[in-house]
Structure 1
Amino acid sequence: MQAEEEGLVVKDDAQSTEAAESKKLDNEVELLLGEDPGAKKKDQVELHESLVSRWASWLSDGLPKEIKVQVVDKYPRKGNISLEAPELNEEIADTLNETGVRRDQLFNQEQNLAGSALSALGQGITMILKDEEEPLDHLELLEKLADAGKLITQLHFQVSSARRAFISPILTKSMKNLLQTSKPGSLLFGEKLTEKIKTAKSMEKIGKEIKASPLPSTSGTSKKLSRPAPRRTLNWRGPYARQGNSYQGLKQYQTKFPPSQPVSKSTYSNVSKSTSKPRPLRDAKK
């Protein structure tokens, strides 16, 4: 009985050896054939489900403000190494316009986020390196690594937001309003952007067709056209001239006539004498 069992063991070992050799042969053949493009690549990241669900949310929406402030304040950026963002030289700051200053401030905030993440990560690595001197606290190590992940996902989100902000000025107003509702993912402005644009355009077209166009008002126009224009005499003066204002208005267009003078009878007689024809000399001959 024991001999039979030993025979079975030897037989199983031989079969496993043959299977291993055939598998090795298959691998050699696959190398000769070349890399299989349909095979799953081994360089794809595989993270824990609890980590994936959290990081995916923070990458698209960012950290809640209170959590972000709490984690940043937990890890100092100064010590035997400075992890602070470098300050801008005053000589250079004076030459920048308002847009340049705001952009530098944005980069400064992002660098400080990276510095806090490096501080958390560095403390965790230091705990591992000092494991022989001090017993390693796995929960404390996990906390530091998790905080580093939070800060890096927030930094990732802020860079995506900055890229979107730099692109938005070249877009139309309707496109800006549409893209503000989208969230970054594998694509900067979200997936299925073409379908969203088509849907927005169709909805805008339907809204214009439903909305009734206002009728033009003709009552006010007809009243204005039927009203006669005011007559102005030659001696008419503008309102400023009548009120004695320093601005004389239309005074330069006024025409002044000399006051009328009474005409004497002698004037009429002189005119009639000068203009009358001389009488013939028939009476003188008679």
Structure 2
Amino acid sequence: MHHSINSDGNDLVEVFVEEPYEEPEIVHEADPGAPTISVLKEPDPEPQLDPDLLTALGETVDDSPQYGPHIHTNLAQRWQPILKKGLPKETKEKLLKTYLIPENCTLLQAPKINAEISAAVLDVVRNRDKKIEAAQQQLGAGITAINKGLTILLTSEDKVTATKHLSDACRILSDLHYMETQTRAKLVTPALSKQFLNVIQDCERDETLFGAKLPEKIKASKAIEKQGLQIKKIVKSTTGTSSAPTAPRAGYQGNWTAPSRYPSSRGGEEARGEQHRRRRAGRPPCRSRGRRARANHVQCSTKQGAGTRCTRGLPWVLQCSPARVLAARRAGRLSGIDDGFAFQKHSPTVQRNNIGSNAYVKRLLKGAYKLRPSLPKYSHTWDPQRLLDYIADWYPNTSLTVEKITKKLVILLALCTAHRVQTLSLIKINKVSIGPTGVKIIITDIIKTSAAGRSQPILFLPYFREKPNICPATVLRDYIALTRDIRPENALNLLLTVKRPFKCATAQTIGRWIKQVMAESGVDVAAFGAHSTRHASTSAAAAAGVSVDTIRKTASWTNNSQAFAKFYHRQIIDEGSFARAVCHISNDINLSLE
């Protein structure tokens, strides 16, 4: 641009001012077939808020961890390995023995649990309390080490010794920090799958519990598992169905089998194939269509006429002619029972209603008796005094755990009432009446011996003043008092399980408790079960002179029942009594040797 300026009014000075170069705008014609490109515009900057508004909104919360200033490098290098892997066992024990709790500050000692509380809680609770107590004791040792260092700094100028005590305190507390980290990991891992546990087994902590590289390890584990499946050899199963035709079924070798479950009209080709196989096996085709048609000697009102005896459902040898049965016998297709049926039908001297006198049937039943003779389960029983002497040491009752007092009560109930474990599991706590002479229990639920017109059993447990350690009434009273705080509101039964969550004990659980105590007392549980307490108690009562009527009434048998005489009244055998009598050794000496 050219300007003319008159500087002094006479001369003209020409000044050239260079203007910025502007490129000419090129206008492109829009191609109707070209795609349209949309250009995103940057959003307009947000206006700044007024400081008063920011104050009214409140402060922002930073979720990133905030750390303090750096500590000395030598200190960090010593604590980091302990925080990751903990102290060696020998070093840790040495430090804990060095720094004992000071006498003027005994509350640094971890408090012990009271003996009464320890006896009332479960073993799981006691074990958990021991772990917390050990961690608390280690915390007290660390605080003691810090105070030793501070005491030296306050009373002298020995910085080296004070530094050593402070360093030991940091070691103890860092190891405690590591232990708490391991505890958190153990609380989390039970909810994880086994495959995932193998991945996190060797993970080391950092800012996270299982390390920041955990996602990479999971991906690598899945990749390895996928590659392993790809290179694994696939073995074809030989037990599957084969397309090869099966061999034809051999001739019939066993007893006559029941007809097909479904009539021949069902199943199409499959049903017709079954009929064909039955014909090839030498048996008549199945035409029965119901349980009534399979009954022996029913009166059939079919096309044959009313009153005709129907042979459907009978053994096939009873439906065949003598010639056919003889041919099957020669071919070896008859079993012992089939041959017996054939002999019964075709022999004129044996009637069908006298099948028990058939020689083949008699031989079969005699062989079955030799293989499994019908003998009583117990030929003798055990002495219940052995079991009572064992649980007599569980005294006083108030100092027992819930498990021990429960087992003691179950044993005394089984022996003193002679009832089944089913009855014991149905005792209701609101049906227990505690009186001055004993405890009365009314059974209201249906049990095995319940019947129409028969009264329900009433159990009575007297007080044993001379033997309070095995008094069933006292144990029952103490059991109710001990389980009052742990009993659920909806638990109506007397006996509860011994582990959380507490609930009503079943008959199977009660039987297992009885067998456990029997095994601990020396009773052979391989030969005697939990129900044998009914045999032992009633047999002991009969040996002591109790009348049979009293035994029947106590055990809830009827007045005319022969169950006690046939199955329960057994001789109480003192094992080894014969040998001791021969060798002139008294029973008291033998017991003292044991």
In structure 2, do the counterparts of structure 1 residues 212 and 98 end up closer, same or farther at CA, with 3 Å as the change threshold? farther
Question: 2:220 maps to what in 1?
Answer: 199
Q: Which amino acid aligns with 2:336?
A: T
Residue 101 of structure 2 contacts residue 140 of structure 2 at CA under 8 Å; is this kept in 1?
yes
Classify 1:218/1:49 alpha carbon distance in 2 versus 1 (closer, same or farther; 3 Å): same
Distance 1:233 1:89, change over 3 A: same
In the other structure, the counterpart of 1:48 is 72
Residue by residue, what CA displacement relative to the aligned partner does 1:143-199 show, whole Å, maximum 9, x if unpaired? 100000000100000000001111111111111222221122211111122221121
Task: Classify 1:98/1:184 alpha carbon distance in 2 versus 1 (closer, same or farther; 3 Å).
Answer: farther
Distance (whole Å) between structure 1 residues aligned to residue 252 and residue 127 of structure 2: 59
Structure 2: which amino acid aligns with 1:140? T
Indicate yes or no: 2:205 matched with 1:168: no
Which of 166, 179, 195 matches 1:158?
179
Of 203-212 and 65-74, the range deviating more from structure 2: 203-212
Q: 1:282 is matched with which residue?
A: none
Letter in 2 for 1:192: K
Counterpart residue identity of residue 233, structure 1:
G
Structure with bigger strand share is 2
Query: What's the offset of the Cα at 1:226?
Result: 7.4
Contact map agreement 1:78 1:84 (CA 8 A) in 2: no
The answer to whether structure 1 residue 246 and structure 2 residue 271 are counterparts is no
Q: Distance in 2 between matches of 1:78 and 1:52?
A: 29
In 1, the alpha carbon distance for the partners of 2:175 and 2:252 equals 71
Match of 1:233 in 2: 336
Structure 2 matches for 1:27-38, cutoff 5 A? Answer: none
- 1:96 maps to which of 112, 121, 126: 121
- The structure with the largest helix share of the pair is 1
Calculate the TM-score normalised by the size of structure 2: 0.32
In the TM superposition, what whole-angstrom CA distance separates every residue of 1:49-99 from its partner, at most 9, and x where no partner exists? 121112111101101111111111111124111221111122222333333
Report runs of 4+ in structure 1 exceeding 6 Å deviation. Answer: 225-229
Distance in structure 1 (CA, Å) of the matches to 2:249 and 2:150: 90
SS at match of 1:180: coil
Give the letter aligned to residue 129 of structure 1.
L
Counterpart position of 2:380: none
Q: Distance in 1 between matches of 2:147 and 2:212?
A: 36
CA–CA distance in 2 between the matches of 1:176 and 1:88?
Answer: 35
- The change in CA–CA distance for 1:215 and 1:84 in structure 2 (over 3 A counts) is same
Q: Are 2:153 and 2:159, in contact at CA under 8 Å, matched by a contact in 1? A: no
CA distance in 1: counterparts of 2:121 and 2:367, whole angstroms: 51
Report the 3-state secondary structure (helix = DSSP H, G, I; strand = E; otherwise coil) of the residue aligned with 1:241. helix
- CA RMSD in angstroms comes to 3.3
Instruction: Summarize the Cα distance change of 1:145–1:103 in structure 2 as closer, same or farther, 3 Å threshold.
Output: same
Residues 238, 184 of structure 1: alpha-carbon distance in 2 compared, 3 angstrom cutoff: farther
Q: 1 CA distance for matches of 2:238 and 2:366?
A: 32
**Following the alignment from structure 1 to structure 2, what is the Cα–Cα distance between the partners of residues 227 and 61?**
72
Residue equivalent to 2:144 = 119
Q: Report sequence identity in percent.
A: 28
For 1:251, the equivalent position in structure 2 comes to none
**Other-structure match for 2:105:** 81
8 Å Cα contact 1:120-1:147 kept in structure 2: yes
Counterpart-to-counterpart distance in 1, 2:194 and 2:113: 34
1:185 to 2:206 alignment? yes
Q: Is the 8 A contact 2:100 2:144 kept in 1?
A: yes
The amino acid of 1:112's aligned partner reads Q
Query: What amino acid is aligned across from residue 71 of structure 1 in structure 2?
Result: L
1:65 aligns with 2:89: yes
Identify the residue that residue 393 of structure 2 maps to in structure 1: none
> Is the Cα–Cα contact under 8 Å of residues 123 and 144 in structure 1 kept in the other structure?
yes
Identify unmatched segments of 5+ residues in structure 1: 1-33, 36-40, 249-286
Paired residue total: 205
Distance 2:252 2:71 in 1: 85
1:107 corresponds to: 132
Indicate conservation of the 8 Å contact 1:240/1:247, yes or no: no
Query: Distance in 2 between the 1:114 and 1:228 partners?
Result: 84
Could you tell me which amino acid in structure 1 is paired with residue 203 of structure 2?
S
Distance 1:229 1:238 in 2: 23
Aligned pair in 2 of structure 1 residues 230, 171: CA closer, same or farther (>3 Å)? farther
Say if 1:102 and 1:229 are closer, same or farther in 2 by CA, change over 3 A: farther
Q: Which residue of 1 aligns with 2:41?
A: none
Task: Please state if 1:148 is matched with 2:169.
Answer: yes
Given that 2:92 and 2:172 are in contact with CA atoms closer than 8 Å, whether structure 1 keeps it comes out as yes
* Contact 1:241-1:247 within 8 A present in 2 as well: no
TM-score w.r.t. structure 1 length? 0.63
In structure 2, runs of 5+ residues without a counterpart are 1-54, 60-64, 255-334, 338-360, 376-594
